[in-house]
Structure 1
């Protein structure tokens, strides 16, 4: 999973995206989050084109108990796509884990209404 070896091959954004997905699947959530954050930062602000990367980053943060970061990234995702049900679910679940059940309820309700994610 190392970057290019002595410049012998190029490490493209696609290569890193695939590697981040693999890390997530292997439950290496913190490592996946680092790689995804770098990819998103390098891509700049291209709006909805980064929805999948932002969503995977928010999930990686959530699964690695970086709850404030999961909420932040999910909120940023909702700025580009306010009808993304999984982002609402992540915010709701993260707020629940922080003991903020009243704040969580709104997002969990929206997740259910928009995408059928039962809470």
Structure 2
């Protein structure tokens, strides 16, 4: 006789703040390991529980960009900039998103904002200010 006991599905993961921190850190590692889709999956639950978490939204925007999901990346970068208009990195990344989507005028605006907020060499070079 064979054992026909049905297998139960694994218990659902708890939705504690600690779990969200673990998921956020794991998403960072997945993005670094070039698995942006895996990162997005983890960040979806973090953002569902904490929609105000700008760091998670910025990381998800980066993951969308890395996965060539430009419209979702653009929307996430815009949410970050609504909350943090002085976030130079978000302006720079949104500019790269516009550039990749073939919208050079929108890209130029955000490259220049990034350079004005934080005049680091990468931002200044991308802004292409006329002399």
TM-score, structure 1 length as denominator? 0.83
Aligned residues: 111
Residue in 1 that maps onto 2:27: 20
SS at match of 1:99: coil
Q: CA deviation at 1:6?
A: 3.6
CA distance in structure 1 between the aligned counterparts of 2:102 and 2:28, rounded to whole angstroms: 30
Residue in 2 that maps onto 1:78: 81
Residue in 2 that maps onto 1:40: 47
Residue in 1 that maps onto 2:58: 55
CA distance in structure 1 between the aligned counterparts of 2:14 and 2:89, rounded to whole angstroms: 33
CA distance in structure 2 between the aligned counterparts of 1:43 and 1:71, rounded to whole angstroms: 20
Please identify the structure whose Cα radius of gyration is greater.
Answer: 2
Kindly indicate whether structure 1 or structure 2 has the higher relative contact order, using CA contacts under 8 Å at least 6 residues apart.
Answer: 1
CA distance in structure 1 between the aligned counterparts of 2:116 and 2:44, rounded to whole angstroms: 29
Residue in 2 that maps onto 1:67: 70
Paired residues of 1:70 and 1:90 also in contact (CA < 8 A): no
CA distance in structure 2 between the aligned counterparts of 1:52 and 1:43, rounded to whole angstroms: 11
CA distance in structure 1 between the aligned counterparts of 2:92 and 2:44, rounded to whole angstroms: 20
CA distance in structure 1 between the aligned counterparts of 2:14 and 2:61, rounded to whole angstroms: 27
* Equivalent residue for 1:108, pick from 102, 106, 111: 111
Consecutive unaligned residues in structure 1, runs of 5 or more? none
Q: CA deviation at 1:16?
A: 1.0
Structure 1 outlier segments of 4+, above 3 Å = none
TM-score, structure 2 length as denominator? 0.76
